[in-house]
Amino acid sequence: MAEITKPGLQQKPTPPAKSTTTVHTLFSTDNYKWMAIGGIIIILGMILMSGGKNEDPNAFDPKVVYSFTRVTVAPFLIIGGLLVELYAILRKPRQANA
């Protein structure tokens, strides 16, 4: 005779055992902190490069457009921020002593 089985009484398959492998991330929290610092320096350089405004919008004032802050300080800040970003990307995370 054929066996009659009820669909609700069948055993469920057991899930596979969880593996305990460690996942290594590409960047550590220190890398992200350095990236944030570099981004802030770049944004500060961009703000300084935008500068102020002319007193009279109909007159050209070279002292405002070609000021020391806009022409010298801001580009150095942007390049410095990019160098900090490069350092943050290339920095190896510290190894935890196990």
Residue 34 in any domain: the answer is yes
Q: Is residue 3 part of a domain?
A: no
DSSP 55: S
Q: Which helix (H) or strand (E) holds 75?
A: helix 74-90
Domain span at 40? 27-51+61-92
Q: Is there a domain that residue 80 lies in?
A: yes
Whether residue 15 lies inside any domain: the answer is no
pTM: 0.69
Q: pLDDT tens across 14-38, in order?
A: 777 777 777 777 888 899 999 999 9
In a domain, 56, yes or no: no
**Number of structural domains the chain divides into:** 1
Q: SS3 of 71, please?
A: helix
Specify burial of residue 74 (Cβ count, 10 A radius: 0-12, 13-18, 19+): buried
> Are the beta carbons of 66 and 51 closer than 8 angstroms?
no
Residue 67 belongs to some domain of the structure: yes
Burial code (b: 16+ CB inside 10 Å, e: under 16) for 15-25 equals eeeeeeeeeee
